[in-house]
Amino acid sequence: MPVTEIEIYEALKEQIGDKPARILLEYIETKTEKEFEKKKDVLATKQDIELLRTATKQDIAELRADLEVKIEQSRSATKQDIELLRTATKQDIAELRADLEVKIEQSRIATKQDIELLRTATKQDIAELRADLEVKIEQSRSATKQDIAQLEVKIERVRADLIRWMFIFWAGQIGALIAILALFFK
């Protein structure tokens, strides 16, 4: 169950008083904010990941559009070549059709290969980025855990010092009371 700032304040207030408890909580909050500010530029946010996803989608869409334009241009050029060949001779048309079909098939195969290579490279880039982000997130978590552990140690030291000083104070008070009672009953 998470402990709230108010609960910590109330617990500290009972032990060390109102003002020291407030000062300690303000210090912890300031220190936490400073550490967060130092490390927030390293962390990838959901917005960063969404921007990357959007950029990747946009790149893929642009590549598709470019490929469609190139295919359309290729088709247009092929049609023009066929029309010119028709007017030249019917015999050349038959031979050129066979050649063009082979070239178009090769172009399709090459285009499919290029698309697959691009898809593979994009997936690899995304995987590398994901791995990088996971490492950075884990490093940040580890650093935060270490900071919390150090803070807990400091709080425990302060608590031990407070108990020691309270014992000395009360021992002095009891000693003074015994001395007063001893003088009073003499």
If one compares 105 and 3, the residue with the highest pLDDT of the two is 105
How far is C-alpha 62 from the geometric centre of its chain's CA atoms?
27
pLDDT attached to residue 85: 63
33-68 pLDDT, tens digit each:
888 777 776 666 788 788 888 999 999 999 899 988
pLDDT attached to residue 82: 74
If one compares 178 and 80, the residue with the highest pLDDT of the two is 178
Rounded Cα–Cα distance for residues 25 and 31 (Å): 10
pLDDT attached to residue 90: 76
3: exposed, middle or buried (Cβ count in 10 Å: 0-12, 13-18, 19+): exposed
User: Rg of the Cα trace of the chain?
Assistant: 38
Q: What pTM did the predictor assign?
A: 0.31
In this structure, what token pair is assigned to residue 127? 């995987």
Mean pLDDT along residues 135-151: 92
Q: Is the pLDDT of residue 1 over 60?
A: no
Rounded Cα–Cα distance for residues 64 and 69 (Å): 9
Residue 45 host element (H or E): none
Mean pLDDT along residues 165-176: 93
Nearest alpha-carbon partner for 102 in 83, 121, 78: 78
